[in-house]
Homo-oligomer: A and B are copies of this chain.
């Protein structure tokens, strides 16, 4: 009941009983945002974005549900924030070049497998959204494409790479990335193959590919 006698829809004066057993408030926006992002990323990966409620995210992050809307403009904004920060991620320092291209190919395959496995939480989270939204897919494709460019550059350091045209080299690098996806993420995570078996298969295939030179 407000000033004018009407029932206010929103302003129900918080009664005295709420003063007790209230959680201590902390003021730290940055930490709250990070907690929400972390909680959401985990839940999105585990249950899927569609099955994750803002209630769950807030509970896991230990803060109020309303902050999701306020900080990220809604649940979808939270997803977008996570995706964008992942896309913007800086590349790691490159490994030293092995002596032979065969060695390098094997190493690349192994590295990609590991990399995709490390990113599995992110992939589980975004793949359903990529399928729904072509534009998101295109945005995310920057990640493997940039990696492919890096691989081509590395392979060009070996004289044997001269035997392949630019397009072939590009297809080769893209395929290495793809095999990383396949054996690092797709088969172990999505198809449920045992991870060690996946890695062995990848290593076999790396060895076979290295013979292309």
Contacts and interface: CB of A to CB of B under 8 A. Distances in A.
A5 B208 contact: no
Interface stretch (A21-29, A30-38, A151-159, A168-176): A168-176
Contact of A168 (B2, B3, B204): B204
Interface string A61-78: 000000000000011110
B170 A178 contact: no
Chain A interface bracket (under 10, 10 to 19, 20 to 34, 35 or more): 35 or more
A166 to B, nearest CB: 10
Contact of A3 (B2, B79, B167, B211): B79
Contacts of A200: 167, 171
Given A51-B132, A164-B208, 6 more contacts: A47-B132, A137-B192, A170-B204, A172-B208, A178-B187, A211-B211
24 contacts: A3-B80, A4-B129, A4-B133, A6-B48, A7-B47, A9-B53, A11-B76, A48-B132, A50-B128, A124-B131, A127-B127, A127-B128, A128-B128, A137-B192, A141-B193, A168-B207, A171-B200, A171-B208, A172-B205, A174-B182, A174-B201, A174-B205, A208-B209, A211-B212
